[in-house]
Amino acid sequence: MSPHFGLMDPGKMSRAEAALLRAKLHWRGGRRRLRENKTAAGIATLYDALLCGLRWYFLVHRPEIMGKQQDEELENEEVLFSLGRQMGILDETIDLAGMRALVDRALDGVDDVLAPRSFPGLIALLLTRIGVMPFDEGELPPEDPATF
């Protein structure tokens, strides 16, 4: 189950508010999964935090982009990464291919996938760069341990 399952009602918030809350919930849930040695799930969840954070950033801070992009395009990670590169958020020091390869192995259920120690730090750096972090985790709804 997703870290936001049962903790938010997207129908009662704007698309941007939902993306921001998902980014925060997935950040918290991804770190917990890594601590619990659920490495593949933790990697995928942190990656999703980044994708949700990028959606939020473009919806709120770059409305001029929204005039050029169809709504469904912001669900496409390639579009998000391309826009991130154009805006300088994802610079040439970010190994997107390596990040995606790691996430693909995790999503394929590879049990021995190892999260480089730098992976959570990279996600934190990018979430900070776009303004998702820092945030007070105490303001989030209580975490449901049943969310895997």
- Note the pLDDT tens digit of each residue in 21-44: 999 999 999 999 989 888 888 999
Q: Give the Cα separation of 59 and 17 in Å (integer).
A: 9
The C-alpha angle with vertex 44 and arms to 48 and 19, in degrees rounded to 5, equals 15
- The pTM for the full model equals 0.84
| Tokens 């969840």, residue located | 45
Instruction: For residue 41, give the nearest of 109, 124, 135, 101 by alpha carbon.
Output: 109
Indicate the CATH number of 11-139 among 1.20.120, 3.40.50, 2.60.40, 1.10.150.
Answer: 1.20.120
| Greatest mean pLDDT range, 53-57, 58-62, 107-111 | 53-57
List strand residue ranges (DSSP E) for the chain, in order.
none
How confident is residue 7, by pLDDT bands cut at 50, 70 and 90? low
pLDDT score of 1: 44
Q: What is the mean pLDDT of the chain?
A: 82
Nearest to 118 by CA among 99, 141, 90, 144: 99
> How many residues are given for the chain?
148
pLDDT score recorded for residue 113: 59
pLDDT of residue 126: 94
Task: Flag whether pLDDT at 86 surpasses 90.
Answer: no
Measured over the CA atoms of residue 61, residue 49, residue 88 and residue 70, the dihedral's sign is negative
Kind and range of the H or E run holding 11: none
Buried b (16+ CB within 10 A) or exposed e, 62-90: eeebeeebeeebbeebebbbebbeeeebb
DSSP assigned state of 127: H
CB-based contact 120:14 (threshold 8 Å):
no
Q: At 3, is the pLDDT very low, low, confident or very high (cuts 50, 70, 90)?
A: very low
